[in-house]
Amino acid sequence: MNKNVIQKIREYASIFVFGACLMAQSTVQAQEIDMLIKGGHVIDPKNNIDGIMDVAIKDGKIFRVASNIPANTSKKTVNATGLYVSPGFIDMHVHVFAGAEDPGYKGFEISNGFGSVAPDDFTFRSGVTTVVDAGSSGWRNFPEFKKQTIDHSQTRVLAFISIAGYGMVGTVHAQDTTDMNPVTTAFIMNEYPDIIVGIKAHHYQGHDFTPVDRAIAAGKKTNKPIIVDFGSSTPKLSIEELFMKHFRPGDIFTHTFSGNAATNLTPGGREPIVDVNNKVKPFIFEAQKQGRIFDVGHGGGAFVWATAINAFKQGFYPNTISTDLYRSSRNAGMKDMANVMSKFLNMGMSIQDVIVRSTWNPANVIQHTDLGHLSVGAEADVSVFNIREGKFGYLDARGTVLNGTKKLEAELTLRAGKVAWDLNGLSGTQWDAVSR
Amino acid sequence: MMRIKTTGISEFFQQQFIRLAQGIAAVLVLVLITATVQAQEIDILLKGGHVIDPKNNINSKMDVAIVGDKIFRIAADIPANTSKKTIDISGLYLTPGIIDMHAHVFHGADVNSISANSPGGLQADAFSFRAGVTTVVDAGSAGWRNFPLFKTQVIDRSQTRVLAFLNVVGRGMVTRYDQQDVTDMNPEMNAYMIKKLHPTILVGIKSAHYWGDFTSVDKAVESGKLANVPVIVDFGEHSPPNSIESLFMEHFRPGDIFTHTFSEHAISKTTGGRESIVDVKTRKVKPFVFAAQKRGIIFDVGHGAGAFNFNQAIPALKQGFMPNTISTDLYNLSMNAAMKDMTNVMSKFLAMGMGLQDVILRTTWNPAQVIKRPDLGHLTVGSEADIAVFNLKKGNFGYMDVGRTKISGTEKLEAELTLRAGRVVWDLNGISAPQWEMPAPNN
């Protein structure tokens, strides 16, 4: 045989092999995405994305966000046309230290008790992938909280710990200033720096700022924010003094839209952010400008339409939207995160503004900038939701209603790339398509 | 000294007239007072809804009146002014509070336990009212040894009515291994706990997750005979599977319950499998299944995380086999999967073609009879006012099974309003509440 011919065959062969290699590579590429969420309206405030985009997930991480990623490059494709796609919601105020301990007196039973709810019960079905427990445990029982609940939850559970050593057992325990130790609190926080995001002060009836100041002392040692449930003292303590003289920038006031009335949990009544003429107090705007964080923390008794709507009309918006999920709020006006977010939609807040307050804003507030966005490489916590149109009603903590036309409904929730909730079987296959 | 008064004729008539007038006035006042009392006698009036109460053969537009914690009256057009509070439920369905006959609610902190005192058991109030459920029956999470703990820790602290099947195993559902311990299956103790100690809470006996022969079932039936209650059996972990024909025809009594009816449970190396009611080759319901149901064997859905397959349920329904009771098998692994909650499971049966009345029957009066609690599951005057009000949404919906296959449907039940013993315990859209008002400025 002619040497040239052999040479040519060799050349062709190598071209063939090269081609085969290319094809093999493209086949690999065809399988490289684990799940593709296609055609949804992506809202990712951190990355300034607000439009129709495809979201590709691989190995539990965000792999790519772009328009028109081909479906044949993914093992599985979910059609999200007509739906919204956002980072998994962060609910910054919940109580999930569920257990069976009885304080022996009528208390919150939130610390290792029945007053808390189990984290996975209410999260994924309302688009939430991260919850932050708001002080259910203190430094004495946080390790138990972690072993018993956090380590066994599919939901990402982070926590503020209470400045009170045993957390939120009941009102009596919340008065024990001898068990509010910034040194031991900071020690436990440093043991679990990835989980504990700050310190909570709460339900104190003394006419002074002791728990707040102790919490701030622990916050200074750890460089973390505090969150305060204020308003249990009679006569009321000044929230202006709280914001301007005690808080640092980044510290958080929760239950922002509560009314003036005294409740079991706030016997003194919490000073509202609006005055008797329905005007937002001027120092509130100033406090927010100076970096004080206003969190919703709806709860069973801390969200009143009159306060919220007045504030809203005057241009005052909360920094973060959260539920204060616990026994007494879950079946009342609060219900779940999707319901609370829907309330803000129906007050006139845009979906983009609602999403930023339930994703990237809380992520910043709790200093977890790894969360609350869809940047490539981020853990694939994704919420796919629809906004139902119809006639809906929304209850506040006073048992009064705001009518609305929109309702946010969680369709599909992914936690670290895994389907954790699928309301209508978006990720399923038709039953008779499966051969048996 | 007594003064004797003499009266003339005219004076006499005058006095009589005054007495008569006084009498008439008194009667009038009495009538008025009665009418005023009547105007206030109803506490809550649910007005304009379509009532489905299978026990009482009601399936039409009716008003439902509640006084205190009881059903006071059901009739067309009860006037709103006879009630302190009226809730307009036009366009909605009203049914007896739903009974979920298979749930796991022995919530606790033992992370090494499956369902007993464990996070695997859910908090009863977390999933009930928002799905129209007012009564749940725990399916064997506790045995006689830990039922007292279950009662004080959960049952006594729940707003939901919690009843229970007692596990045939004394320690209840702790681990798979505990379920095999025949030495801890004690009919005497089980019957004592049910009949003597807690007859109003314990409704039967559960046998589950057994790997051997019929011992677990037979011990349960023996307990059931002593206590005069039914048994409920999760028959899923035998390798090779035990005969369900033998279970239904030789071991069960009429009234005994087979749960996980529509599972197609493949045999796994670790846990064995469950024989299905529909033949996996021909897709025909096995003839003895019809015979068993005729014999009085109860077929319960018990959806769960691994026990509901469309390729069982759809052929069965098409061939005229209907489950007696629809239930969730609610626990930590089913709550966020295909099961979700009671309304989702009920809606699945609507999507498969079952009528709404048939679905309501299987979630109210049927389970009440199965657990021998005829005081529940209906709206008879005088019964406790446990009520569900549903919205039947229209649209495009999808329903999944445990194999992640799906069917589509055009209807979905949504719990609008739930009352437990006459109290509103769930109100999705605030239909029982007034509109908010701007407070008057106060300077």
Q: What is the pLDDT of residues B416-431, one digit of tens each?
A: 999 999 999 999 999 9
Q: Which chain B residues are within 8 Å of A342, Cβ to Cβ?
A: none
| CA distance, residue A153 to nearest chain B CA (Å) | 10
Contact B166, B139 (CB under 8 A): no
* Residue with more model confidence, A21 or A73: A73
Residue B319 has pLDDT above 80, yes or no: yes
**What pLDDT score does A401 carry?**
97
Which of B127, B336, B418 to probe by mutation at the A interface, max A CB count within 10 Å? B336
Quote the CA–CA distance of B5 and B442 in Å, as a whole number: 66
pLDDT band at B32 (very low <50, low <70, confident <90, very high): low
**CB pair distance less than 8 Å for A149 and B119:** yes
pLDDT tens per residue across span A401-426: 999 999 999 999 999 999 999 999 99
Rounded to the nearest angstrom, the minimum Cα separation between A410 and chain B is 12
Q: What is the pLDDT of residue B145?
A: 98
Let me know if residue B62 belongs to a domain: no
- Kindly determine whether residue B430 and residue A149, on different chains, have CB atoms separated by under 8 Å: no
Residue A270 binned pLDDT confidence (cut-offs 50, 70, 90): confident
The pLDDT, as a whole number, for residue B38 is 54
Residue B5: predicted pLDDT: 47
C-alpha–C-alpha distance, residues B328 and B49, integer Å: 26
- Assess if residue B398 is contained within a domain: no
Residue B7 — pLDDT band, cuts 50, 70, 90? very low
Q: Cβ of A399 under 8 Å from any chain B Cβ?
A: yes
Separation CA A221–CA A186 (nearest Å): 6
CB contact under 8 Å between B398 and A428, yes or no, is yes
| Mean predicted lDDT score pLDDT of chain A | 92
User: Are B161 and B135 within 8 A, CB to CB?
Assistant: yes
Q: Please name every residue paired with B426 in a beta bridge, in sequence order, or none if there are none.
A: B418
Contact B398 A403 (CB under 8 A): no
Q: How far is CA A246 from the centre of its chain?
A: 26
Residue A434 has pLDDT above 70, yes or no: no
H/E run at residue B6: none
pLDDT computed for residue B147 by the predictor: 98
Q: What integer is the mean pLDDT of B385-406?
A: 97
Question: CB A430 to CB B407 under 8 A?
Answer: yes
What pLDDT score was predicted for residue A13?
58
pLDDT tens by residue, B152-187:
999 999 999 999 999 999 999 999 899 999 999 999
The pLDDT tens digits for A178-219 are 999 999 999 999 999 999 999 999 999 999 999 999 999 999
pLDDT confidence of residue B1: 42
Size of interface A-B (CB pairs under 8 A): 144
- Domain annotation covers residue B322: yes
Out of A154, A276, A331, closest to residue B443 by CB: A276
**Residue B12, number of CB atoms within 10 A of its CB:** 10
Q: What single-letter DSSP state applies at residue A285?
A: H
Average pLDDT of the residues in B340-358: 98
Mutant choice from A398, A431, A434, A436 vs B, greatest count of B C-beta within 10 A = A431
Residue A35 lies in a domain: no
Residue B440 touches partner A, C-beta closer than 8 Å: no
Determine contact: A407 vs chain B, CB below 8 A.
no
pLDDT of residue A265 exceeding 90: no
On the question of pLDDT at A24 being above 50, the answer is: no
pLDDT of A7 reads 63
CA terminus-to-terminus distance, chain A: 56
Instruction: Read off the pLDDT of each residue in A355-383 and give the average, rounded to a whole number.
Output: 98
Stretch B376-405: mean pLDDT, rounded?
Answer: 97
* pLDDT bracket for residue B28 (50, 70, 90): low
> Mean pLDDT over residues B34-39, rounded?
52
CA distance A211 to A162: 10
Residues 6+ apart with CB under 8 A from B88: B47, B48, B431
> Which residue of B lies nearest to A306 if distances are taken between CA atoms?
B438
- Whether residue B431 contacts residue A392, with contact meaning beta carbons closer than 8 Å, is answered with no
Q: Does B130 touch chain A (CB under 8 A)?
A: yes
- Predicted confidence (pLDDT) at residue A232 exceeds the cutoff of 90: no
Residue written as token pair 């008794």 = A301
* Domain range for A196: 89-371
CATH of the domain at A258: 3.20.20.140
Question: Parallel, antiparallel, or unpaired: how do β-strands A401-415 and A382-395 relate?
Answer: antiparallel
Q: Is residue B254 part of a domain?
A: yes
In a domain, A147, yes or no: yes
Q: Mean per-residue pLDDT for A88-114? A: 92
User: How much is the pLDDT for A21?
Assistant: 47
pTM for the structure as a whole: 0.91
Write the pLDDT tens digit of every residue in A287-340. 999 999 999 999 998 999 999 999 999 999 999 999 999 999 999 999 999 999
For residue B265, pLDDT beyond 90: no
- Is A100 close to B107, i.e. CB distance below 8 A? yes
Is residue B379 within a helix (H) or strand (E), and if so which, with residue range? none
The answer to whether residue B34 sits within a structural domain is no
pLDDT in tens, B84-94: 999 999 999 99
Q: What is the CATH number of the domain that holds B352?
A: 3.20.20.140
**In chain A, residues 8-67 whose CB comes closer than 8 Å to chain B:** none
Q: Of residues B34 and B291, which shows the higher confidence score?
A: B291
A307 phi and psi, to 5 degrees? Answer: -65, -50
Cβ–Cβ contact A400 with B under 8 A: yes
Instruction: With cut-offs at 50, 70 and 90, classify the pLDDT of residue B22.
Output: low
Contact A357, A319 (CB under 8 A): yes
ipTM for the whole complex: 0.90
Q: Which of A151, A331, A418 to mutate to test the interface with B (most CBs of B within 10 A)?
A: A331
Percent over 70 (pLDDT), chain A: 90
CB distance B70 to B108 below 8 Å: no
User: Do A425 and B123 lie within an 8 Å CB cutoff?
Assistant: no
Q: Return the residue in A79, A424, A426 with the most chain B beta carbons within 10 A, the one to mutate for interface testing.
A: A424
pLDDT classification of A234: cutoffs 50, 70, 90: confident
Provide the residue range defining the domain that includes B222: 97-377
Tell me whether residue B365 is in a domain.
yes
Q: Are A187 and A139 in contact (CB under 8 A)?
A: yes
From the list A99, A310, A428, which residue is nearest B404 (CB)?
A: A428
Residue A13 domain-assigned (yes or no): no
The upper half-sphere exposure of residue B192, i.e. CA atoms within 13 Å in the direction of its Cβ, equals: 8
What residues contact A21, with CB distance under 8 A and at least 6 apart? none
Cα–Cα distance measured from residue B83 to residue A292, given in angstroms and rounded to the nearest whole number: 49
Whether B20 maps to a domain, the answer reads no
In one-letter notation, the amino acid at residue B200 is: T
The rounded mean pLDDT for chain B is 92
A100 at the B interface (CB within 8 A)?
A: yes
Nearest Cα of chain B lies from the Cα of A344 at a distance, in angstroms, of: 15
**For chain A, what is the domain count?**
1
Q: What is the pLDDT of residue B14?
A: 61
Q: How many domains does chain B have?
A: 1
Q: Does A104 touch chain B if contact means CB atoms closer than 8 Å? A: no
| Range A338-358 average pLDDT | 98
| Mean pLDDT, residues B347-356 | 98
User: Does residue B203 sit within a domain?
Assistant: yes
**What proportion of chain B, given as a percentage, has pLDDT over 70?**
89
